[in-house]
Amino acid sequence: MSKSKKQGWLVFFGLVILIISAAPTSSAQTDSYLIGPGDVLEIRFWQDHSLDATVRVRQDGKIALDVAGEIDAAGVTTADLERKIVKQISRYNSAISQAVVRVTEYNNLKVFLSGQIRNPGKYTFEKIPDLWTIINEAGGATEYGDLSRVMIIRGSGEKGKVEVVNVSALVTSGKMDELPEVHTGETIEIPRTPAGLPGTAISDQMAQKNLFYAVGEIARPGAVTLEKNTDLMDAIALAGGPTEYANLKKVTVISKDGYKTQIMKVNMKKYQETGKPGRYFIRPEDTIVLSRRSRGFLGIDSFAGWVGVLGALGSVVLIVDRLGVFGPGHGG
C-alpha cells in the first residue's frame, strides 16, 4: 500500500473516531420523559468537571447553573436540555461543547394513594404505570380494602370527577388492558368494605353475574342488569322506584363477597336530605330489600286509605239515616 493511501486511511479512521467521541453519551437521547418541577437533575461536563452540578427544578420550571445562569428546564426532554445548556454556557466558555443530563429523582409525575392502602401517600414515577401496579407499589390493599370499588379522583381538566373501577373483576378476568389510565396529580382511594367486614383476596373471588336484585316494596321487583357506577339510589330507580308503602329509612343491602355475605342498613331518607352516609355503589349480585312501613291506626297507612274509609263511613251514615234507624226526627 502506498504512503498516500495509508495516510488517507488514517485520516478516515481519525474522522470516525472523532465523530464517535463527539457523539452524546447520554442514554436520555431518545428519552421522551418531560422534565418537570421537583425533578432532581445530575449535570456533567466531561470537558470541565468543575462545572458539574446536581440541581432541583424549581416550581417556576427553571434551574440555576454556575456560569450559565438560569435556564428553563420544565417541559423538555433531557436531550433538549443538554442542547440548551451547551448553547448558553458556550457564550461564556467556548471550550464546553457537550453536557450530559440525567434525572436522578422523578418528582414531576406523582400519584396520591389514600384509604385502605397499606402505605398511603405520594408516589412518583418516571412513567406512571397501570392502576394495579400503582396499588401494589403502595403495598396493596389492607384487609378491609374493597378492590371492587376503587375510586380515581381525577385532576387537570376533569378535576373533581370520580371514576369508580372494579379492579378485582378486571384483574381476575385477565382484562388488565381495560384498567383506566392514571395521570399525574390524581388520587387513588380504596374504600372500606361494606359493613367494615374483611375483604376477599382477588384469587378467592367467585365469578359473579352482572345483575342486582330488588325485592319488597319496589315497583318492579326482580333481577336488573347492573350498569357501571350504579349507586343505591340509581339502583332503586332502575327497579321502578319504591312503592308508596316502602320504608326508606331502613333499606337493606345484602352483598356477596366471595363465600361470605355482608348485610348493610341504609337510611335513604337521611341520604336524600343530607347526602350522608356516602354513596354506596352496587356490586354484582347485590340484593336490595325495601321493607314495608309499619301499619298505621286500624291498619291504614296512607292518605288514600283514609279517604276510602271516610267515604265508606259517609255511605253507611246515609243508608242508616234513610232507613230511619235512629227513629222519628231523623232522615228526610
pLDDT digits (tens, 9 = 90+) for 25-46: 433 334 688 999 999 999 999 8
Domain termination residue (choose one: 199, 225, 255): 199
**Does residue 175 belong to any structural domain of this protein?**
yes
Interatomic CA distance for residues 299 and 20, integer angstroms: 96
Domain termination residue (choose one: 50, 83, 105): 105
Q: Judging by DSSP bridges, how do beta strands 109-115 and 121-125 pair with one another?
A: antiparallel
Q: Decide if 113 contacts 134 (C-beta within 8 A).
A: yes
Note whether 122 and 100 are same-domain residues. Answer: no
- For the entire predicted model, the pTM comes to 0.50
Note whether 34 and 101 are same-domain residues. Answer: yes
Mean pLDDT over each residue of the chain, to the nearest integer: 80
More confident residue, 329 or 257: 257
Note whether 220 and 274 are same-domain residues. Answer: yes
Query: What pLDDT shows up at residue 324?
Result: 57
Q: Decide if 250 contacts 273 (C-beta within 8 A).
A: no
More confident residue, 256 or 197: 256
Query: What pLDDT shows up at residue 332?
Result: 45
**Does residue 72 belong to any structural domain of this protein?**
yes
**Does residue 237 belong to any structural domain of this protein?**
yes
Query: What pLDDT shows up at residue 143?
Result: 86
Closest CA to 55 of 113, 119, 102: 102
Domain termination residue (choose one: 152, 173, 199): 199
Q: Decide if 189 contacts 115 (C-beta within 8 A).
A: yes
Note whether 95 and 124 are same-domain residues. Answer: no
Note whether 186 and 216 are same-domain residues. Answer: no
Note whether 98 and 124 are same-domain residues. Answer: no
**Does residue 204 belong to any structural domain of this protein?**
no
282-307 average pLDDT score: 70
**Does residue 180 belong to any structural domain of this protein?**
yes
180-199 average pLDDT score: 84
Q: What is the CATH number of the domain that holds 167?
A: 3.10.560.10
Query: What pLDDT shows up at residue 312?
Result: 54
Residue 330 clears pLDDT 90, i.e. is over it: no
Note whether 74 and 115 are same-domain residues. Answer: no
Interatomic CA distance for residues 151 and 112, integer angstroms: 12
Split at pLDDT 50, 70, 90, the class of 300 is low
Locus of grid cell 374493597: 146
C-alpha cell read off for 246: 316502602
Note whether 91 and 115 are same-domain residues. Answer: no
Note whether 134 and 116 are same-domain residues. Answer: yes
Query: What pLDDT shows up at residue 165?
Result: 94
More confident residue, 241 or 160: 241
Note whether 119 and 191 are same-domain residues. Answer: yes
Residues spanned by the domain of 184:
109-199
Could you give the number of structural domains in the chain? 3
Note whether 215 and 272 are same-domain residues. Answer: yes
Closest CA to 202 of 146, 284, 282, 138: 146
**Does residue 3 belong to any structural domain of this protein?**
no
Interatomic CA distance for residues 253 and 233, integer angstroms: 12
Q: What percent of the chain has pLDDT above 90?
A: 43
**Does residue 316 belong to any structural domain of this protein?**
no
Residue 201 clears pLDDT 50, i.e. is over it: yes
Q: Pick the range with the lowest mean pLDDT from 188-197, 265-274, 284-293.
A: 188-197
Q: Judging by DSSP bridges, how do beta strands 187-190 and 211-216 pair with one another?
A: unpaired
Q: Decide if 287 contacts 264 (C-beta within 8 A).
A: no
Q: What is the CATH number of the domain that holds 49?
A: 3.30.1950.10
310-322 average pLDDT score: 53
Task: Provide the Cα torsion 193, 198, 200, 206; round to 10°.
Answer: -70
Note whether 75 and 92 are same-domain residues. Answer: yes
Split at pLDDT 50, 70, 90, the class of 81 is very high
7-21 average pLDDT score: 51
pLDDT tens figures, 91-135: 888 888 999 999 999 988 999 999 999 999 999 998 899 999 999
